[in-house]
Chain A
């Protein structure tokens, strides 16, 4: 069944672009329907459902080697939820009144989703690379969708950085193919295990990891990220920040470290170092931002740092915490980007110094953004608290005391910049000139409310979520720490 997650969106893209009457108007609802179906199925069905053979005739002709495990399920749900938010929020604004543009957006979005689904399910490095490229190309187009100058600049930076990452990963795949004789995860993992620190092997692993750091926008490879996030059309920045970089960079890293590279000392220390630097640099940079979206972008870097830090702890708790935080982050960060889009749409500016007191005019936006930011900081009972807690327990158990303390103190910096955001935009007295502002449009309200409810529900019903989705993840960690 798993291959259908890639094939159906691709098929839908082809059908949507047939020159038939009324097809363009249908493309948005059709894409929405597919996204809802994916989210619902991924949430309800166990991994074994996806690993069944597809019904004969549809997918059986494509012998793609896909598997879905507990980690994959969490990712499929996140992809579905964030794309849902992105498409609803972009429905009205993307492409203005031009139906062709809207249909193009829906097509490219579906392509992007197909690519991400592929990344989540593949079993060998080369297919992984192919899907990474599909997603990357789709996102270049999405970022520059409105062709304004700043968006083109953002997309251009992303292309260049992405190309560098691509070259590194491709070189690494070449080396691994040469040394292991195959690119499937299992073979490469076995070859790495038996190689005993062959120089080329280390080089290959290093190149691939750095490539993924670039894709994930981790410090010091984060230069492209704030520009790309802040210049993209609002629906796209939701998608980009919420899930694209998380799937292409962070998820891939989690998958490769757990099933291919293994938790060697050197990998772990690199992850810890990069994670810590990202947390601190991202948070400090966010403190100094005036632009709403850029602050969120830096905050994103900082939060991804937590995910990487959890992974770097190198134990089952760490991986569980990392994946849980990845999921939570995709929810609350999409939420915040939607709120920023709503504020920008209603007031015409993202400059926080020109805003103030919007809480009385836009109560729903203000409340949902408060929920999302508290979750980001890790204040219970919101979802982000539990994932951060698990990460900190993991760090303590793996004796990384210093990292745990830095992670904890950085969450106070996170609180500081978000409080300053909330204060400048929503709280306080209404700034002159903003008297006629009204609450955000439905397109932004609906996803904002849904995501806020998810944040609360995950936080309150954490035993259920942990039991059903997060704890099974520890079974996918076959490699124990090499000493």
Chain B
């Protein structure tokens, strides 16, 4: 199979396949669950199969010309392959985890439909090379996550789902205006044409930059548009893991990398402003994570804070920082996904989310506790976990670009991460037992979290094998290699 077929399969098998899941669900639940997993794995396999040829320098592109410049253009390069592998890998583990988790609730058909469609649209975002096409997939992810957050149908949940939908759609439409401005300036929505038309002497107008950034920040839950993310924690646990850690917030980061680094030429000043926004976001949300008592909200705030590190890496520029930022996407996806899934297990076993009412669970739930700790180590950035290398590269890159003050702020942010994650761990798993738990009773969920924890560790131990291709990606994004 050539790469063009693989791209189409990676997107449309989950995207269109999700539509038949409810029908399968009417026949047999097992079949539906298996089909959902296979669809997500298809994306992973397709992306992996494309890797060798893309690493060798092959550019695959599918182009269909439609009226008014709303073209259908898909591109596979290193960046898109990298993102596709990261998100479909975490996605597959999360789908596997939900086999057990979600089987206790109603509306399972809807759940699998939305999750698989979400991952399909994520693939669409990753491979599309036209702004309008990107926007279509972008809104599809907003739509599906809206239904997922409101999954439990409680009045409060539905309200919060509506809130997050409103915030992300607001960001998206503002971004759309930015896209229209680009169209005005360059006469096209295609990345290739835009890249040619925008030069150092004719950079993208600053207003368009602001509009597009607005959309990206709303999606990646960065200050000041972050409030929807902690609220979205009412969703079923695999969903929050999917939303927060693995995929949704990474959409914003990925689109930033794709547009602002690989495609647009923007004014120099943005390379100072964006790290600054990121720094504020990192500190404020770390502070919020320190005082919250709802465990899912703590992890959510931690996500907001960690996303800022990724932005820092991507925004200061330079090969090292960008490599670090991309690695961070992978490491954070694995580790934070693990944290959320562990929190899901704790919540399901004890029916409590408030950490002041929890404690001592390490005795009854040792596997969960250890997986949680390993994932937390990775997020904190303790060697030899994967998270250490990415954090190190991002901060070194920032120092290298001369932004010392920003770099110090982030080191402080990393220190806060250490504190709030240890606080979270101790409150839930150490001390005396306050709420009894039923003990570990779900092999599927435990396998998933253990897998994520082990992957976090392995990715650190074998960092050589991972950092090579990622560095290649960064070089390709910067135009250093074709």
Contacts and interface: CB of A to CB of B under 8 A. Distances in A.
A396 interface: yes
Given A393-B183, A408-B174, A428-B158, A377 B169 contact: yes
Contacts of A408: 173-174, 176-177
Contact of A409 (B66, B159, B173): B173
Contact of B136 (A317, A380, A428, A471): A380
Nearest to A374: B143
Interface residues of B, number: 30
Contacts of B120: none
Contacts of A374: 143
Contact of A428 (B68, B132, B155): B155
A389 B159 CA distance: 28
Contacts of A357: 153
Contact of A396 (B66, B158, B184): B184
B153 A427 contact: yes
Interface in B387-414: none
B135 interface: yes
A379 B180 contact: no
Interface string B128-144: 00001001100110110
Contact of A392 (B136, B170, B180): B180
Contacts of B165: 415, 419
A405 B166 contact: no
Q: Chain A binding site: helix, strand, loop or mixed by DSSP?
A: helix
Contacts of A471: 67
Interface in B179-237: 180-181, 183-184
Interface in B14-61: none
A416 B162 CA distance: 8
A352 to B, nearest CB: 14
A463 B70 contact: yes
A409 B169 CA distance: 10
Contact of A423 (B135, B159, B181, B184): B159
Interface in A391-423: 392-393, 396-397, 404-405, 408-409, 411-412, 415-416, 419-420, 423
A276 interface: no
Given A379-B143, A423-B159, A416 B176 contact: no
A357 B169 CA distance: 24
B150 interface: yes
Contacts of A385: 136, 139
A404 B174 CA distance: 10
A476 to B, nearest CB: 17
A375 B120 CA distance: 21
Name the residue among B132, B150, B162 with the largest chain A CB count within 10 angstroms: B162
Contact of B132 (A378, A389, A466): A389
A397 B154 CA distance: 45
A379 B159 CA distance: 19
A429 interface: yes
Contact of A429 (B136, B139, B153): B153
B180 A412 contact: no
Given A377-B169, A415-B169, A389 B153 contact: no
A395 B167 CA distance: 24
Given A419-B166, A463-B70, A471-B67, A396 B181 contact: yes
Given A357-B153, A381-B136, A390-B68, A416 B166 contact: yes
Given A380-B139, A415-B165, A415-B169, 7 more contacts: A379-B143, A386-B70, A389-B132, A389-B180, A405-B177, A408-B176, A416-B162
Give the top 10 A-B pairs by smallest Cβ distance, nearest first: A380-B136, A463-B66, A466-B67, A419-B162, A408-B173, A412-B170, A396-B180, A380-B139, A379-B139, A427-B158
Interface of B: 66-68, 70, 132, 135-136, 139-140, 142-143, 150, 153-155, 158-159, 162, 165-166, 169-170, 173-174, 176-177, 180-181, 183-184
Interface of A: 317, 357, 374, 377-381, 385-386, 389-390, 392-393, 396-397, 404-405, 408-409, 411-412, 415-416, 419-420, 423, 427-429, 462-463, 466-467, 471
